[in-house]
Amino acid sequence: MHISNFTERPYIGVPEDEIIMNDSFFGVSNKFMDPKIAAELHNRYFDEKLFMEEVGFDGVMLNEHHGTPFCMGSVMNVEAAILARITKKMKIALMGNPLPVADPLRLAEELAEIDMISRGRLISGWVRGAGSEQLANNINPAHNRERFNEAHDFIQQAWTKDGPWRYEGNHYHYRHVNPWAKPYDGVPECWIPGLVSPETVVWTAQQKYTYLALGTFLDASVELWNLYADNAAEAGWQAGPECFGYLQRVFVADTEEIAQEIGKAWLHGGGQSKFARPEWMFPPGYNTKAANQRLARIFMDPEHNAIMPGTDAAGGNIHVEEARRRTMETYEPLQELGQIMVGTPKTVLPRIRNIMETLRPGVFVIFQIEGPVSHEMSMRSIELLGKEVLPQMREWAKELDLPGPDEVKPGSRKLPANGIRDAVVNLSSVAAQ
Amino acid sequence: MANTSTKWKEETVSIDGSELSIVRGGEGKPIVIFHGELGDPGRLGWQSDLASSRELIFVRHPGFGISPNIKWLKSIRDLAGLYAQLLRQMGLEGADVIGFSLGGWIAAEMAAANDSIFGKMVLVAPAGIKPPEGEIRDLFVDPPIKYVAASVNDVGKTPEFDNLYGGATTPEQIELLVDAQAGTANLAWQPYMFNPSLPHLLKGVNGLQTTVIWGREDAIIPLSAGTAYEAAIASAKLVVFDDCGHYPEVEQREAFVDQINSSLA
Which tens digits make up the pLDDT trace of A370-411?
999 999 999 999 999 999 999 999 999 999 999 999 999 999
Give residue A303's pLDDT band: very low, low, confident or very high (50, 70, 90).
low
Q: Does A142 touch chain B (CB under 8 A)?
A: yes
The predicted-structure confidence for A327-344, as pLDDT tens digits, reads as follows: 999 999 999 999 999 999
Q: Are B111 and B203 in contact (CB under 8 A)?
A: no
Beta bridge partners of residue B39, listed in sequence order: B36
Q: Are B172 and B52 in contact (CB under 8 A)?
A: no
How confident is the model over B80-103, as a mean pLDDT?
Answer: 98
Nearest by CB to residue B189, choosing from A142, A296, A297, is: A142
How confident is the model over B218-231, as a mean pLDDT?
Answer: 98
Q: Are A205 and A231 in contact (CB under 8 A)?
A: yes
- Asked if residue A306 has pLDDT above 60, the reply is no
- Residues contacting A410, CB < 8 A, separation 6+: A208, A209, A210, A239, A240, A242, A243
- Asked if residue A310 has pLDDT above 70, the reply is no
**How many CA atoms within 13 Å lie on the side-chain side of B191?**
13
Mean pLDDT, chain A, integer: 93
Where b means 16+ CB within 10 Å and e means fewer, B63-77 reads bbbbbebbeebbebb
Give residue A305's pLDDT band: very low, low, confident or very high (50, 70, 90).
very low
How confident is the model over B194-209, as a mean pLDDT?
Answer: 98
Taking the CA of residue A289 and the nearest CA in chain B, the distance in Å comes to 8
Query: Does A285 contact B185 at a Cβ distance shorter than 8 Å?
Result: yes
How confident is the model over A101-122, as a mean pLDDT?
Answer: 98
pLDDT at A281: 87
Optimal mutation site among A132, A134, A171, A300, interface B, most CBs of chain B within 10 A: A300
**Chain A residue with Cα closest to B63:** A285
Which range (A279-293, A310-324, B194-208) has the least confidence? A310-324
How far lies A114's CA from each of A109, A120, A123, A163, A391, in Å? Answer: 9, 8, 10, 20, 29
Give residue B145's pLDDT band: very low, low, confident or very high (50, 70, 90).
confident
pLDDT at B4: 61
Taking the CA of residue B165 and the nearest CA in chain A, the distance in Å comes to 14
Q: What is the pTM of this model?
A: 0.93
- Residues contacting A95, CB < 8 A, separation 6+: A6, A61, A62, A63, A125, A127, A191, A193, A212
Q: Does A325 touch chain B (CB under 8 A)?
A: no
Contacts of A147 in chain B (CB under 8 A): none
Longest dimension (CA), chain B: 46
Calpha distance B173→A275 (Å, rounded): 27
Q: How many Cβ contacts (< 8 angstroms) between chains A and B? A: 63
- Asked if residue B248 has pLDDT above 70, the reply is yes
pLDDT at A309: 39
Contacts of A288 in chain B (CB under 8 A): none
How confident is the model over A227-238, as a mean pLDDT?
Answer: 98
Calpha distance A216→A246 (Å, rounded): 8
Q: What is the ipTM of this complex?
A: 0.90
**How many CA atoms within 13 Å lie on the side-chain side of B59?**
30
How confident is the model over B230-251, as a mean pLDDT?
Answer: 98
Contacts of A283 in chain B (CB under 8 A): 140, 185
Contacts of B144 in chain A (CB under 8 A): 299
Sign (positive/negative) of CA torsion A110, A111, A115, A116?
Answer: negative
Residue type (1 letter), A363:
V
pLDDT at A283: 85
How confident is the model over B160-180, as a mean pLDDT?
Answer: 91
- Asked if residue A313 has pLDDT above 70, the reply is no
**Chain B residue with Cα closest to A140:** B189
How confident is the model over B143-161, as a mean pLDDT?
Answer: 93
Helix H or strand E segment including B258:
helix B253-263
Give residue A291's pLDDT band: very low, low, confident or very high (50, 70, 90).
low
Taking the CA of residue A281 and the nearest CA in chain B, the distance in Å comes to 10
Nearest by CB to residue A284, choosing from B145, B172, B185, is: B185
- Residues contacting B181, CB < 8 A, separation 6+: A284, A285, B37, B38, B139, B140, B144
Q: Does B149 touch chain A (CB under 8 A)?
A: no
Mean pLDDT, chain B, integer: 96
Nearest by CB to residue B140, choosing from A283, A289, A300, is: A283
| Cis amide linkage into residue A96, ω under 30° from 0 | yes
- Asked if residue A297 has pLDDT above 90, the reply is no
Task: List the alpha helices (DSSP H) in A24-143.
Answer: 35-55, 76-86, 104-117, 131-137
pLDDT at B1: 47
Q: How far apart are the two ends of chain A, measured CA to CA in Å?
A: 22
Of the two residues A273 and A353, the one the predictor is more confident about is A353
How confident is the model over B75-99, as a mean pLDDT?
Answer: 98
pLDDT at A430: 59
How confident is the model over B198-227, as a mean pLDDT?
Answer: 98
Optimal mutation site among A140, A286, A289, interface B, most CBs of chain B within 10 A: A140
Give residue A319's pLDDT band: very low, low, confident or very high (50, 70, 90).
confident
| Cis amide linkage into residue B248, ω under 30° from 0 | no
What are the two backbone dihedrals, phi and then psi, of residue A370, each rounded to the nearest 5 degrees?
-150, -175
Longest dimension (CA), chain A: 65
DSSP tally for chain A: helices H, then strands E: 18, 11
Cβ-based neighbour number of residue A79 at 10 Å = 23
- Residues contacting A131, CB < 8 A, separation 6+: A141, A276, A280, A281, A282, A283, A286
Calpha distance B235→B93 (Å, rounded): 19
- Asked if residue A134 has pLDDT above 90, the reply is yes
How far lies A238's CA from each of A411, A417, B156, in Å? Answer: 7, 11, 64
